[in-house]
């Protein structure tokens, strides 16, 4: 409940504060958001599995974001930033889908 509240608060803050994304962060923010989304889905799945651990959640959240950003950064340095970003998004998307499938099995037994 508090987590949902936090999500809503974050969205509202983002919409109303209208912060500008710093230039250095612009290539990484979208990937970081997808990575964080993956971590949140993983956390929700762990919660439903009964193995949720806030420490693990924090670590996986931060690590996901950092690794995703690192890969994009590396790709940009190597000149394959666009392709590598696509790759990261694809992998994270697959993970989100598999997590969503397991959540669905828990909630609807289907």
Partner 1 sequence: MTGPADPVQPVEPVEPVKGRARLRSALHPRATRAQVVAALLCGVLGFAAAVQVRSTQDAGLSGLRQTDLVRILDDVSERSARLQAEARELEETRDRVTGDDDQAALQEARDRTRVLGILAGTLPARGPGIRLTITDPEGEVGSDVLIDALQELRDAGAEAVEVSSVDGPAVRVVASTSFVDAGGPGSGAGVEVDGTVLRPPYRFVVIGEPGTLASALEIPGGVLEVLDQRGAQGVVTQEQSVEITSLRAAASPRYARPAGAAGDADNG
- At residue 5, the 3 state secondary structure works out as helix
Tokens 């995703």: give the residue. 68
76-85 residues labelled b (16+ CB within 10 A) or e (exposed): eeeeebeebb
Shortest approach of partner 1 to residue 11 CB, angstroms?
A: 4
Which phi-psi region, left, alpha or beta, contains residue 50 (left: φ > 0; alpha: ψ -120 to 50)?
Answer: left
Is 4 a binding residue for partner 1 by CB under 8 A? The answer is yes
Q: Which stretch binds partner 1 (CB under 8 A): 25-33, 66-74, 86-94?
A: 25-33
State the binding string over 27-66 for partner 1 (x if CB under 8 A, else -): x-xx-xx--xx-xx--x---xxxxxxxxx-xx--x-----
Least Å distance between CB 84 and partner 1? 12
CA distance linking residue 42 with residue 47, whole number of Å:
9
Which residues make up the interface to partner 1 (CB under 8 A)?
Answer: 1-15, 18-21, 23, 26-27, 29-30, 32-33, 36-37, 39-40, 43, 47-55, 57-58, 61, 81-82, 103, 105-107
């Amino acid at each position: 409940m508090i987590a949902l509240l936090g999500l809503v608060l974050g969205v509202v803050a983002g919409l109303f504060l209208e912060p500008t994304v710093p230039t250095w962060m612009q290539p990484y923010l979208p990937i970081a958001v997808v990575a964080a989304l993956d971590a949140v889905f993983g956390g929700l799945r762990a919660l439903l599995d009964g193995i949720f651990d806030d420490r693990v959640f924090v670590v996986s959240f931060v690590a996901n974001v950092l690794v995703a950003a690192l890969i994009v950064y590396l790709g940009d340095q190597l000149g394959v930033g666009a392709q590598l970003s696509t790759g990261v998004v694809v992998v994270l998307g697959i993970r989100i889908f598999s997590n969503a499938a397991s959540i669905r099995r828990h909630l609807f037994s289907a």
